[in-house]
Structure 1
């Protein structure tokens, strides 16, 4: 596998602890990603999900090669990206906890007619086709095209809603109390 241009540079990189400190202070929206490449479902919590295009509808996320879900996600042709809010904190924690069976409680998830695992009652989810994978350091960046979605809870335009973010190793809920503009 060829090295990325970021790893080929002769200029020394920023130390890992400094890089981590920068991103600990940068809040990220919380998502849960699920997939099944034929060997059983996997799930992981991610803060790297971002939309990159509306036409076509594309999103991007990255996962560490150290993730227990990495092998399945590198083979999966489709994934479900769950967009979580503060009401979904238990689902976020489930996907972030290592060493457990994230699908042990059958009443909390089901399968779409196309076979992908989806957690029930979350704010929203989008089923996607993985169209590209790019190796980037010790992670894989996924580009996925949105195929199908469901919104369970939506906020009115301009209203704060109750978003879930991860900041400085702690979960936070957004709401009217965290709104800075008027």
Structure 2
């Protein structure tokens, strides 16, 4: 067995392991020099409450480069009402930033998806290259809370809805 065989096997098992791990769904959007750019992410995580900070990882797509080059971006935490938008932003060439998807622009210039469960405007603190990805750590500078409701999760390459507990 060669080193590349081990790496391919390990990479395959790594992907399979995380397909079994359900995560929340976010859409990260930034204003770029050629217009807005965005991507669907399932790697968003809280890092600190004081000061508020979060992290996520992106691969080297054109949209990811706009996000990592931006001085600010918005992390939208999505609910089931935005499953179609999440799918669109996960596929190259799919429609993005259309009026039907519900986009506005913040006074600071970043795209804002109306009706997201939360929209967190962020500024990057650290960009850490790891293999073919970049881990972004960002400070949260503003938060807009939207409607609460059921949860949108990503699990085994599909978006699913989880019913929120009663009284929440």
TM-score band by shorter chain is 0.7 to 0.9
1:40 aligned residue? 35
Deviation at 1:106, TM superposition (A): 6.7
2:3 aligned residue? none
Deviation at 1:152, TM superposition (A): 1.2
Contact map agreement 2:39 2:64 (CA 8 A) in 1: no
CA distance in 1, matches of 2:72, 2:96: 19
Contact map agreement 1:88 1:123 (CA 8 A) in 2: no
Deviations for 1:52-88, whole angstroms, at most 9, x for unmatched residues?
Answer: 10001000000011x2312212210111000001122
2:16 aligned residue? 21
Deviation at 1:34, TM superposition (A): 0.1
2:135 aligned residue? 141
- Candidates 65, 68, 71, aligned match of 1:74: 68
RMSD: 1.7
Q: Which runs of 5+ in 1 are unaligned?
A: 1-11, 155-160
Deviation at 1:153, TM superposition (A): 1.2
Which structure shows the bigger proportion of residues in strand conformation? 2
2:147 aligned residue? 153
1:9 aligned residue? none
Deviation at 1:91, TM superposition (A): 1.9
1:165 aligns with 2:165: no
Deviation at 1:27, TM superposition (A): 0.7
CA distance in 1, matches of 2:111, 2:12: 35
**What TM-score do the two structures reach when normalised by structure 1?**
0.81
Q: For residues 100-139 of structure 1, what are the structure 2 equivalents within 5 Å? A: 100-105=94-99, 108-139=102-133
4+ residue segments displaced more than 4 Å: none
Q: Which runs of 5+ in 2 are unaligned?
A: 1-5
CA distance in 1, matches of 2:64, 2:46: 21
Tell me how many residue pairs correspond in the alignment.
159
**What TM-score do the two structures reach when normalised by structure 2?**
0.87
